[in-house]
Structures are given as C-alpha cells and as structure tokens.
Structure 1
C-alpha cells in the first residue's frame, strides 16, 4: 500500500515530488499562489489542489476536500518571517502560535496523519519569542499536544546529492516511534578518498548538473525546446528521465551593458568587483549607484556546488561560462527538479515590494524563478521520504 501525501504551503511541489520519487502517492496540496497551484496541478494531475489563503479556508472545507483521501503524511513549510501577525496586540508577535505555523497544526489536528513534517530556515533554531522561549521548543510542544513524537535536525542538501549548498531545518513528528526520522548521509563534496571508501558518493558539481543543457546566450532560448546534447553523467540522465523536450530554458533579456558587466567577471566575482564604468546605475538615472551589492550577480564556479538557490536567484548568480544569469531550468536542475517537471506562470515578475507599494496586488504572483527557489530540493525530499516510508511500511 502506498504512502499518501498532502502538501500544505505547497508552492510548486518540490517536497511532495521528493516523496513521489520515493514511491509515495501525492493526493493533495494547499497553496495560496495561483501560478504555483497551476504548476502543482499540471505536474500532479491526480492530486486535489486547493488554492487559497489557508487562514480563510474553513475546517469544513479541509475535511470535505482531504479527509476521504486519508493522507499518511502532511508536509509543510509555513513561512515564518519573524512569525509576524497583522494584529500586534494579539499576544507575542513572534510567537509561532500566532503565525501560519498554527495553520499547519490545524491541518494535523483535523486529518490526524501518521507523520507531519515541517521544513524551514536553519535560523529558526536560534529564534526566541519576546518572553525568551525558544521558538523550536514551542513548535515541538504544539506537535506533542497532538500526540506526536517530535525530533528535528538541520540537513545539508549536498549530503544527499543536491549540487547546491543549502541547509534546511526539518522537523519530523510521528505517531509511532521511528528508529531514526532522518536519512543517513549518502554524498560528500570532499575529495577525501577515506570518505568515498565509506560508501559515500561524490556530490555532483554545478557544471555536472547543467553542462548538457543547450548553449544559449542572453535573450535566447524558449519555454519549450529540444535537447541539443547527450547527457554527460548519471545525474543528468536521472533528471532527464523520459523527457523528450526541455522546458523553461529561456535566458533573461539582459541589456548590452549588463552582458558587458558579466563579461568582465571571473569566477567568484560579483557586482562589487566590476570596473567602474560598468557599475550599476541608479534606477531611471545615468548616475552610478552608491550601493555595492556583494551578493548580486556572482559568477559561480563550475567545479563546486552552487550557492543557495533563493527565490530571487535570477539576480543572484551568473552562469560559469555564459554572460548571463541562470535560466529557470538551470535553477531547476541545481534544485534537482526532473526535466519533465514544467513550471507555469511568467519566468519573472516585477519586484513584489514594488507591486505592494503601488497596490498592484493582482499582479503579485510567484514567477517560475520564485517557485523554483522557494522549493525543497526534490532529491533532499526523496532521501527524507525513502527513510520514512521504509519505517512506516515496516
């Protein structure tokens, strides 16, 4: 009998895809953003996808949509930006009980799955409420009140074959006692032969993840295209799978000046290292910006894992050899999404802060880059899933 998974705060579905790759059945999702829902539904056509603000979805609707599906596992990455709430008078604004975490708990209370798994930023470990309680302790306590045994650990994505330095906090709450809720390390970035002799595989590098994708320059590429090269290694073969076409491999429409700026950069250089005449200009001006953005547009080293693919990664990284940012598909490869997984919505949108400021709320969607950067890397999800499924079915 397959393990059934419901993904809350699902985004594009990276975490639940990891479970699917491990043999689980993805039965449903709850997600606020319409483009992310479109992506999820397209790639999981059998799943029940509920789009909406989870705080406004009633208990009745959650039960009506999902209780008959009997999910064994509920996943969730509730946004925990400072655990802020609209009504600052409602107790401690940094208390997770006043945050979207409470919605994750509510779904667990309603559906009583065997396992609940929450993922979040590692800094959550250090977070404290205004009354100095550790936030992670409150989270564990709330899950224990539902009858779960709770453990948490920070996992490093490169330890599971993800070619990207990405650390995530994973909280596993289970009805039954698990031998170990967390998967053993399978990969290493070290060249130390002793580690490789221990049975660890070498984690792919950035270039090993993307080198078989079609060569395109800035302003080139298509939302759907043909492969032009054969796969080079097992990682590429695995992510290609049975895919006959390539999706979302379209380069950004960089200006000539931006391409020149990228051309001046070596591996490891960022915007703050470029010659003076190529420095960024102030918005709508011919004057140079005084701000040096050290994290913006850093040229990645091909023979190392990539830095963390964040929601705004279209402006974070420069391709190791091309004078352009990564395409959405290159980001998806680094995140370990298979090539058949298609991202819907526009590739990029105007800054969310700008849309908020100008009241253009109907345009505020998660673009392809946001969806990819926000996701749990599927291969990290798969490692967590394989370890759990073995114990649940055992």
Structure 2
C-alpha cells in the first residue's frame, strides 16, 4: 500500500510503516528544508516537496503524486494559531489551522485511510464557543465519508524506551473492528495481560543506548565506528545493516557545566545542584539566576524508560553516567530510529526566537535535535501500521467470503 507523509518532519511516522516491509513510502510534504533533507536522504526513491502546503494547488498535488496514496499520515497543528492572522477567526478552532490542509488532502486523494497524530491534551481543548476540538476534527473527517476513531497511545506499550503519549485519530473508508494495536510491551517487571499471556518488557534507557561509543562532552563525530557488539535484541534491531554510528556528537559544554552535571545524581535536576554551580543570570555580572527550570538538565535513571524526548532535548536531560546531555543519536535510539537513519542539517542552531528578533528567519531550520524530538517514535508507528494492515486484510477476507456465499 502506498503512503504519503504530510507535515512529515524527519519521517518517523512513515518510517514505522516502512519498517513493516508492507508499505511503499511514495512521498512527503514538509515545510522545513533540513527535515526534508533527512527524509529524502533516507527515502531516496520518494518524492519530497518542501514548502508551505497551503501554496500547492490540487492540480499540482495530483500531478506530483500520480500514484495516488492509499494512506495519508500527518501531524498537522490543530490549534494555537490561525492560518492568515488571528483576526481570521478563533485560533483554537482547527478549521482555522493547518488541519484544514490535512482535510483538503483527503478530498483530493480520497485515500482508504487517514491517520493523524497530535498531543494528548488536544482531547480536552475547546474553541472559544466551548466546542471540543476533537469533535470538530471527527466531524470534518466524517464529512469526507470516513469512519473515525481516536485514542491516546502510550509509546512504552509498543517497546519504545520512553514515556510518551500521543493522540491518534484514524479515519477509514471501511468500518474497523479494532482500529488500534494491542500493547506488545509493559514497563512492569512481570507483565501479565488479561488473557494471561506475558507481554514483553519495555526496554530501559540503558537497554537502548549502552552499546553506543562512550564519549564525553565535546567528543564524538557525525560518523563513528561501533566500539562493542550489540548487547540485546533492541540494539541489534536498531543497528540493522548499519556498520557506522551517525550523529553521535556531544554538546560542547563548558568546564563549569561539566562540574555542575558531575554534582548531580539520577533524578536530580538543575535546581538540586550546589549554589556555586547554579547558572548565572544572562548579562547579570556574575549573579546567579533565580529562574531555574526543574525540567532542564535532569539526570535520567538508566534502569527506567526515559522521560519524553522533546524538540529541545539537548537541554532537557543528562546522560545517566556521563557528565553531558544526550547526543542526537542517543535521542534517536530512545525514539527508536534505526542507526542507519541519518539526520541531516546541523546538530543545534541558534534559538529561533533570537533569529526572529534579529530578522534572520532564513536561517531558521529544524536542527537534528528538533527533528528527532518532534518525531513520532517509529516503533509506535510500526505497531499502528501492522494493525491497520491486519484490519484491512480481515475486511478484505470478509468481503471475499460474502461474495463467494452469494
């Protein structure tokens, strides 16, 4: 089945479909050049268009993707801003956001399945008129002739070594009996399902990254050799056919930052460090900052799943044993990207707010950390993809059986 990935980022969502071996990733639409470069590098056969989806006409899209997709994936922003400006209507209403572009693609291509993912909090969000945003999303997709299902999935239930939840909305032209995958993993030590068949143990953070080259702050390279063999099935699977480690570059921390991290135990964050190692105020002539973010630079426990890898994870977490933040590759492992999936663009960039302030918006790109943190974990996407395939196969078999009976 043919898949088109929209609002694609680096391509984590469609990568999960690719990993099943049952889907053909025909293309992607992505606004950011570096993220699109990553997609194209890893899917050289796919057609990748880079730019604002609102600017593409129906004729252009049909011409570009002549092989009409059976499945359209996307994580369109559903809230928070209006397409033209805030005067154009309620910014909390998805009909005023890029979600309407996702709906437009459904009208143009009429795929069998459309799958959308977003933040779990969207389930509670309301417009100014107190209408639930999720209800509007469902209504808009039903108007296209789809059966619509939604739920919140936990990544740890599908072998992702990270506490991460996503809202998933599935729109299908045929009625699905079980639209969402059953859990395959559990973070419990001896998990038992309702039917008493044991689930697999969700890998821990250390299960995910312990075989990567052990580098200190300011070390590493965009391409390195493995130093030791894979230690477990998770590592073996993610190494795949790769004979190199890519994007394993540590942050260039100052000596003081390294000392600060050295003072922290697992579970500690920046607010727990001794006073003399606390961050200074910006332009504060050596005064300590009173503004300490508890989530910043927390040292992770090795024997648990990691906290959610966000777009800014270069400043969120400290390695369980090294006095540095995670590298992009460590983040990619925690997100379940295979080692052969190489991220393009720079590892980090100047703050987007600063670029905006200084009128340097042409330099605004999604760096490797952003691309990784923004992605749908491929293992979560793979579970969705496998379940969709089995559901559609069941429906096809039922149809054949019904035809034969007649």
Q: Same fold (TM over 0.5)?
A: yes
Counting only pairs closer than 5 Å after superposition, residues 17-32 of structure 1 correspond to structure 2 as: 17-23=15-21, 24-32=23-31
Counting only pairs closer than 5 Å after superposition, residues 293-332 of structure 1 correspond to structure 2 as: 293-332=293-332
Measured in 1, the distance between the counterparts of 2:191 and 2:222 equals 42
Deviations 1:128-167 (A, max 9, x none): 0001110000000000000000000000000000000000
Cα gap change, 1:210 to 1:110, in 2 (>3 Å): same
Shift of 1:88: 2.2
Q: Paired residue for 2:86, among 85, 88, 103?
A: 88
Cα gap change, 1:389 to 1:83, in 2 (>3 Å): farther
SS at match of 2:86: coil
Measured in 1, the distance between the counterparts of 2:339 and 2:386 equals 21
Kept after mapping to 1: 8 A contact 2:79/2:93: no
Q: Which residue is 1:115 aligned to?
A: 113
The count of corresponding residues between Structure 1 and Structure 2 is 391
Measured in 1, the distance between the counterparts of 2:368 and 2:311 equals 9
Shift of 1:209: 0.2
Kept after mapping to 1: 8 A contact 2:79/2:92: no
Kept after mapping to 2: 8 A contact 1:148/1:173: yes
Shift of 1:81: 4.4
Q: Which residue is 1:273 aligned to?
A: 272
Q: Which residue is 1:176 aligned to?
A: 174
Counting only pairs closer than 5 Å after superposition, residues 45-60 of structure 1 correspond to structure 2 as: 45-60=44-59
| Deviates further, 10-19 or 172-181 | 172-181
Shift of 1:392: 2.3
Measured in 1, the distance between the counterparts of 2:126 and 2:225 equals 50
Shift of 1:86: 3.9
Deviations 1:69-119 (A, max 9, x none): 121100000123424444222232211001000001111110110000000
TM-score with structure 2 setting the length: 0.94
Shift of 1:56: 1.6
Measured in 2, the distance between the counterparts of 1:181 and 1:116 equals 12
Shift of 1:302: 0.2
Superposition misfits of 4+ residues, deviation over 4 angstroms: none
SS at match of 1:153: strand
Unaligned stretches of 5+ residues in structure 2: 395-406
Shift of 1:63: 1.3
Measured in 1, the distance between the counterparts of 2:121 and 2:82 equals 16
Kept after mapping to 2: 8 A contact 1:96/1:138: yes
Counting only pairs closer than 5 Å after superposition, residues 116-265 of structure 1 correspond to structure 2 as: 116-192=114-190, 194-195=192-193, 198-265=197-264
Measured in 2, the distance between the counterparts of 1:60 and 1:281 equals 55
Measured in 1, the distance between the counterparts of 2:245 and 2:60 equals 37
Shift of 1:193: 5.1
Unaligned stretches of 5+ residues in structure 1: none
Q: Which residue is 1:369 aligned to?
A: 369
SS at match of 2:314: helix
SS at match of 2:60: helix
Shift of 1:282: 1.5
Measured in 2, the distance between the counterparts of 1:267 and 1:80 equals 36
| Deviates further, 85-94 or 377-386 | 85-94
Q: Which residue is 2:14 aligned to?
A: 16
Measured in 2, the distance between the counterparts of 1:252 and 1:234 equals 28
Measured in 1, the distance between the counterparts of 2:91 and 2:75 equals 19
Q: Which residue is 2:353 aligned to?
A: 353
Kept after mapping to 1: 8 A contact 2:191/2:198: no
Kept after mapping to 2: 8 A contact 1:83/1:96: no
Kept after mapping to 2: 8 A contact 1:270/1:297: yes
SS at match of 1:137: helix
Deviations 1:305-340 (A, max 9, x none): 000000000000000000000000000000000000
Q: Which residue is 2:382 aligned to?
A: 382
| Deviates further, 51-60 or 83-92 | 83-92
